[in-house]
Structure formats: C-alpha cells, structure tokens
Amino acid sequence: MKFAKIPMATINRLSIYMRTLQELLEEDVEVISSERLAKQCGVNPAQIRKDLAYFGEFGVRGVGYHVADLVNQIKDILGLSRTWNLAMVGLGNIGSSLIRHGNFVKHGYIFTAAFDVDPQKVGKKLPNGLIVNHVDELEDVVRERDVHIGVIATPAGAAQSVANQLILAGINGILNFAPVQIQVPDCCHVENVDFTIKLDCIAYHLSTGV
C-alpha cells in the first residue's frame, strides 16, 4: 500500500467518519450501513467505500460496518491508536483558547508544553497545570517532554522563526494558526489554519450563489 498516493481529501473524510462513528458508539449503535453512515457524514455511500478501499476490505456485505471495529481500524490508519504530545507556541487569544479546549484530549492530543515571550505570561501556571516557558527554552523543553507536534499561534512576524526552532528541536509536524505561510523542509508536514480563507470561501458562495 502506497500511502503517499492517497488523497488528503480522503484522510480528511476518514477523520469525519471516525468522529461520526464515535458518536454512534456513545448511542450504543453496534452496526451501521454505508448508506446511513454516508448520510450522517454528508457524503454518498460510494465515497465511503472508495475511501476505505485504499486501506483494505471493511464491513460485511448485506450487513454493514461493525461500529467499534471500524473506529479502531480508522484509528490505526490515522495513527491515533496512541497519544500525541503537543507544544503550543503563542498564548494570545487563539493559543490560550486552544490549549483549554477539551476536545484535543478526547482525541488523544495532549498539550505537554507551552511557550511565549511575554514576561507577564512566562512562568504562569495554566488551567491544565502547565507552566509557560520562554520561547528561548523551546528546543530543550520539546526534547525533554517528547513533543511530537508543534502548534504555532504567534503573530505572523514570529511564525517562521518559531517554525525553525521547532524543526531544530526535531519536530516534523506543525499546525500553524499564524496568518502567514511558513517555509519548512520536505521532512516536515505543515497544516495551515487561516479562518479568513474559510470566510473568503463563504463570501464567494454568498456573492455568486454557487
């Protein structure tokens, strides 16, 4: 199986399938048809079957998918059968809100380090128990706490420098909330989250009626 050939859109949909299946588990649903799962995920049944077919054979013809089994199988595919340690860099409004968000822990993402440059924030204890470190300590702390993914929520002007520090510390995965495209080597995967781009898409559809 050549994972590099799998479209990112498929990976994104797998996350949606998994979250929907987890909700079904909480409702004590044991088996679900591809038609019902597709309806709840906002796609068609053929798309679900195609997405899953990249990774093997799933479900039972004429029966559907065993919910618990499919959750575990998708977790294995996405690398979520383990926890991932995160470091937050930048504790402004976005960074502070994200690090308090309980949904990260629910899905296996644990903030184990937090950094800022503001003297009024460095040394403070966060609600989750973390002590904010100065960004100058980033490389040492990231290594000590076995951080796997860096989350950047700094102003645009600081984002590239922070990304460079994270990479030097051995981080190869970055979630970037700064409103700027950062440059990284091929070994590092970056996901950029710019809310204004999403708003641009909404504005386009509202303006054109498409």
Residue located via tokens 């990304």: 163
DSSP for residue 133:
E
- Same domain for 112 and 71: no
- pLDDT (0 to 100) of residue 127: 92
195: how many CB neighbours lie within 10 A of its CB?
Answer: 10
Which residues lie below 8 Å from residue 149, measured CB to CB, with a gap of 6+? Answer: 84, 85, 86, 87, 109, 171, 173, 174, 175
Closest CA to 149 of 85, 77, 81: 85
H/E run at residue 163 = helix 156-168
Residue at which a domain ends, from 54, 78, 102:
78
- Same domain for 127 and 97: yes
- pLDDT (0 to 100) of residue 3: 54
Does any domain span residue 1?
no
Does any domain span residue 150?
yes
Whole-number Å distance between alpha carbons of 47 and 61: 16
- Tell whether residue 42 is among the known ligand binding residues: no
- Tell whether residue 93 is among the known ligand binding residues: yes
- Same domain for 101 and 68: no
What does pLDDT average to over the chain?
A: 94
Please give the tally of structural domains in the chain: 2
- Tell whether residue 21 is among the known ligand binding residues: no
- Same domain for 180 and 142: yes
- Same domain for 62 and 133: no
As given in the structure block, the two tokens for residue 157 are 């002007």
Percent of the chain with pLDDT over 70: 98
- pLDDT (0 to 100) of residue 12: 94
Does any domain span residue 93?
yes
Q: What is the pLDDT of residues 157-198, one digit of tens each?
A: 999 999 999 999 999 999 999 999 999 999 999 999 988 888
For residue 7, pLDDT beyond 70 = yes
pTM score, whole prediction: 0.89
Residue at which a domain ends, from 32, 53, 78:
78
Q: Which domain holds residue 27?
A: 8-78
Closest CA to 169 of 201, 151, 144: 144
Q: What is the pLDDT of residues 42-76, one digit of tens each?
A: 999 999 999 999 999 998 888 899 999 999 999 99
- Same domain for 181 and 93: yes
